[in-house]
Amino acid sequence: MSAIRHVAVIDIGKTNAKVALVDLVTLSEVALRRMANAPLLRAPYPHHDVEALWAFILDSLAGLSREQRIDAISITTHGATGALVDASGELVLPILDYEFDGPDGLAAEYDAIRPPFDQTGTPRLPLGLNLGAQFYWQQKRFPAEFAKATTMLMYPQYWALRLTGVAANEVTSLGCHTDLWNLWTADFSSLVDQLDWRGLMAPVRPAGERLGPILPALAARTGLDPQVPVFCGLHDSNASLLPHLLADTPPFSVVSTGTWVVPMAVGGRQVVLDAARDTLVNVNALGDPVPSARFMGGREFSLLTEGLPGSWTEEDAGVVLARRTLLLPSTQQGSGPFPHHAATWLSAEGIDTGQRFAAISFYLALMTATCLELIGADGPTTVEGPFARNRLFVGMLAAATARSVIASEAATGTSIGAALLASDQVTAHGKGERIEPPTDPAWANYVSAWRAAVEARD
């Protein structure tokens, strides 16, 4: 094949699925297909609608290939998700939705065998947010089906298997609060051996490895060149981080936004991570540990702004700052830096929709700043994904961190990083607007008021 220029990135998020065509010369998205992604709420448990996603992926590849030659395919997905397949590559059980609470029913049993935080960097999370807990629950509740599994796959590599027929695993998904990966030995954790799962684990391959060409039948179905390579793929937050790892000088941090807001610190201050506040250690695409934190900011934004027009004025922002209209954490409980706090409003009587939108944006920025503080972040912060386009969010984040914030220009922060797996280049893509901390003291006063109100509730 000729040199790779246009990469189709399959990006399966928890709320939306996308296929983006990325131009590696300009490091920009030149086309995008999108669909809503919702679990199937039916037996045997809530699970991902992989067949609807598969049809969307193939239709998107076919449509994009009619507009522009596709030279390669890369994959990125949300974490906390894995697949159990048999020798023919078919699922032996549906892919469990991590928001299902079934695994909590075996929490005591699982807690007795899971590895400690200092081995895996994985905090104990509710529902199915620890992938090890999902697999354990499936093994206990569906032993006959589980026994048919020959391979355990992380979610990006499940799609890679369907595209190429090659089974693999990869460290960014294995190291994403799964309990399955030992950060310090770069090998599977004690849980994997204790439950005799090592033989099920597909070989670990680098994120940027070519697993193989697309299967012939899929080439015929999509119109792609049969030699189009498919790259192993990686976890979505780590896809957002990758361009900065390749080109930026530490210290810096990257905030990946989507359903989850995931701040990641590179070269920051040395801190002791607090597992009870949803800090963790991710593994980046180069195999190195990265202090990280999370909260369900995108989900919170959707719930809080449902029915709001999304428009606001500078006057609206000024009113919220002056009145100190505060939204305190947390709308989504059970995760994030304040997992046991219930959301409440202060000084919110009579606010209009624009002011409410401003206060919500400020709240999300202050939650993000809290996460950055917990992981020792230093230097500039780059915001990737939808929140980068929210000027209220990035302004308050700069105020709360007292450091510059860069609002990434990329429409989908994950797609550029995933596409770079197919490239040898290390130059950074266009960064976007740089926002400095506001000089108006009203912003700093608002930050202090919010933090004092949160602290008073502890």
Same-fold call for 6-232 versus 237-457: yes
Tokens of 30: 């030149």
CATH topology (fold) of 237-457: Nucleotidyltransferase; domain 5 (3.30.420)
Q: Which residues contact 342 (CB under 8 A, 6 or more apart)?
A: 330, 333
Dihedral angle, C-alpha 393, 394, 398, 401, nearest 10 °: 60
pLDDT tens per residue, range 389-398:
999 999 999 9
Burial class (CB in 10 A: 0-12, 13-18, 19+), 441: exposed
Domain ranges for the chain: 6-232, 237-457
**Angle formed by the axes of helices 353-374 and 314-323, to 10°?**
70
pLDDT tens per residue, range 69-88:
999 999 999 999 999 999 99
pLDDT confidence of 106, banded at 50, 70, 90? very high
What residue type is 410 in one-letter code?
A
Cα(205)–Cα(207) distance, integer angstroms? 6
Q: Does domain 6-232 have CATH number 3.30.420.40?
A: yes
Per DSSP, helices labelled H in 213-293 are 216-222, 236-247
Dihedral angle, C-alpha 299, 161, 238, 11, nearest 10 °: -50
pLDDT confidence of 437, banded at 50, 70, 90? very high
pLDDT tens per residue, range 278-310:
999 999 999 999 999 999 999 999 999 998 888
pLDDT of residue 414: 87
**Mean pLDDT for the stretch of residues 319-327:** 98
Nearest CA-CA partner of 381 in 302, 437, 301:
437
Tokens of 194: 């204790």
Cα(382)–Cα(262) distance, integer angstroms? 12
Q: Which residues contact 51 (CB under 8 A, 6 or more apart)?
A: none
Q: How far is CA 230 from CA 163, 364, 398, in A?
A: 7, 36, 39
pLDDT of residue 431: 72
Reduced to 3 states (helix: H, G, I; strand: E, B; else coil), residue 292 is strand
Extended beta strands in 57-208, E state = 72-77, 82-85, 151-154, 181-182, 187-188
pLDDT tens per residue, range 224-278:
999 999 999 999 989 989 989 988 899 999 999 989 999 999 999 999 999 999 9
pLDDT confidence of 212, banded at 50, 70, 90? very high
pLDDT tens per residue, range 404-429:
999 987 655 689 999 999 997 665 55
Nearest CA-CA partner of 441 in 322, 309, 327:
322
Dihedral angle, C-alpha 98, 100, 102, 106, nearest 10 °: 40
- Model's pTM, two decimal places? 0.88
